[in-house]
């Protein structure tokens, strides 16, 4: 559980999948938007997971997020938070030495991730043994959910199980595409979700446009950046209608 000042503005970024140049540009866009629109107010930038696989520069994505973390380390008014996605989990499972998990990861974008460390002509087997320790440690430490109850916000990669929240397990956070989650009407029986907004990615939206479901109960910002869509951040401030920045 995280605590933030009442006037904090939240920017949550959807699935990146190796689109490092666009992420760096979106970071600058967010900082500029905040300076112009909410000067003097605290800001939290939240990455919703799936930094690696499929796209051209997974290494660059991790470097970009770690660089942003370092950039704001001495700025208490600016917080950077990052969640684990299912692709980070697949990568970590593959690196544990399970051959089935390795095959799953390589078939779902892992080869592209390894190429981002070796270059186009590098040896991906060698890359497996020589991935930067600081990257693996950073990925391993990522949580699967951020709960900010005083702002009525839940940030998660894939979603939650409405029947079990807040006790649903991490696999739900990483993988779910349950119809119960996608339909906020079905959340009604769980008081812990009353008045809450769940911000997530994982499932590319129809038409690659941000999706707002229910009475702003669920916001999906996976707008298919690696599939030809935009990389999207949702802006959440006070009780205002969500705004979206894209790159």
- Give the model's pLDDT for residue 120: 78
Using the predicted structure, report yes or no on whether residue 32 has a pLDDT greater than 60. Answer: yes
User: Across-strand partners of 11?
Assistant: 45, 235
Domains belonging to the chain, first-starting first, are 9-246 (3.60.21.10)
Residues 19, 140: Cα–Cα separation, whole Å:
21
Q: What percent of the chain has pLDDT above 90?
A: 91
**Adjacency order of strands within the sheet including 145-148:** 145-148, 153-156, 197-200, 218-220, 211-213
Express each pLDDT in 1-26 by its tens digit.
567 999 999 999 999 999 999 999 99
Closest of 49, 42, 54 to residue 15, by C-alpha = 49
Q: What φ, ψ does residue 210 adopt, rounded to 5°? A: -55, 145
Express each pLDDT in 73-119 by its tens digit.
999 999 999 999 999 999 999 999 889 999 999 999 999 999 999 98
- Give the model's pLDDT for residue 127: 86
Residues 81, 155: Cα–Cα separation, whole Å:
10
- Give the model's pLDDT for residue 2: 66
Claim: this prediction has a pTM higher than 0.95: yes
Express each pLDDT in 138-161 by its tens digit.
999 999 999 999 999 999 999 999
Using the predicted structure, report yes or no on whether residue 126 has a pLDDT greater than 90. Answer: no
């Amino acid at each position: 559980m995280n605590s933030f000042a009442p006037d904090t503005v939240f920017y949550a970024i959807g699935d990146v999948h190796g689109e490092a140049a666009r992420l760096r540009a979106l970071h600058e866009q967010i900082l500029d938007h905040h300076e112009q629109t909410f000067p003097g107010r605290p800001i939290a930038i939240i990455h919703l997971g799936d930094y690696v696989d499929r796209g051209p520069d997974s290494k660059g994505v991790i470097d970009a997020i770690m660089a942003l973390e370092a950039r704001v380390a001495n700025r208490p008014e600016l917080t950077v938070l990052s969640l684990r996605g299912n692709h980070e989990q697949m990568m970590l499972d593959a690196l544990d030495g399970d051959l089935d998990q390795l095959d799953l990861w390589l078939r779902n974008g892992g080869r592209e991730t390894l190429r981002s460390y070796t270059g186009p002509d590098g040896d991906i087997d060698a890359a497996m043994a020589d991935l930067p320790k600081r990257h693996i440690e950073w990925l391993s430490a990522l949580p699967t959910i951020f709960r900010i109850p005083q702002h009525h916000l839940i940030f998660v990669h894939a979603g939650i199980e409405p029947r079990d929240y807040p006790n649903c397990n991490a696999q739900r956070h990483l993988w779910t595409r349950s119809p119960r989650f996608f339909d906020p009407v079905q959340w009604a029986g769980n008081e812990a979700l009353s008045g809450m907004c769940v911000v997530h990615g994982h499932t590319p939206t129809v038409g690659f446009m941000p999706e707002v479901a229910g009475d702003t109960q669920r916001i999906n910002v996976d707008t298919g950046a690696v599939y030809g869509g935009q990389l999207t951040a949702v802006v959440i401030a006070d009780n205002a209608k969500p705004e979206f920045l894209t790159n």
